[in-house]
Amino acid sequence: MFEFSPDARFEFLHPADAGVAFARAVACEESIGETLYIAGGAGCRMTYYDFTTALMSAIGIGPIPIEAFVRTKPARFFGDWVDTEESQRLLQYQKRGLDEQLEDMKKDLGKLVPLIRLVRPLATWFVTRSSRLSQGEPPFACRLTGRPSVAAQIALMRRRGRPAQCRRTLRLR
């Protein structure tokens, strides 16, 4: 969740709308052999942070501190806003948005939402503990070795007030 930049562009698609789009695409002559972008449309465009804040608020946790997310330029995310004009014209699937998804989630969770609100600080801690940045780790550690890049190591040592170690690290590389 925290590996994406909070200011990355994100376009939500309600799962029910996705199902409708795929089902109608099979029966639509004009869509056969075409590549169509399937997404929520202009009303479902937001930033990744707005999306996660909405989800966490719906389940009673509330906004996650923005500091827990990776901050990069350009924003890190493997998606974007897409042009769905043609797919919507052919398939007529964009009926729901994020608000409907949030209501579905609240219904599914039922009486758990007020209970989660009661333990909000603990729940927020539990969710954010998976963030490398919340744990003071550099954001660009190698997934295979777990070792951070040299630049990330130096930044971390500077934050911890160890400039002498920064110089040694640079010489060792």
pLDDT digits (tens, 9 = 90+) for 1-48: 888 888 889 999 999 999 999 999 999 999 999 999 999 999 999 999
Q: Are 72 and 5 in contact (CB under 8 A)?
A: yes
pLDDT digits (tens, 9 = 90+) for 42-70: 999 999 999 999 999 998 888 988 888 88
Torsion-angle region of 49 (φ positive above 0: left; ψ -120 to 50: alpha; else: beta)? alpha
Q: What is the predicted pLDDT for the residue at 157? A: 64
Q: What is the predicted pLDDT for the residue at 172? A: 45
Q: Are 128 and 134 in contact (CB under 8 A)?
A: yes
pLDDT for residue 85 is more than 60: yes
Amino acid (1-letter code) at residue 101:
Q
pLDDT digits (tens, 9 = 90+) for 94-143: 999 999 999 999 899 988 888 888 898 888 888 888 776 555 555 555 44
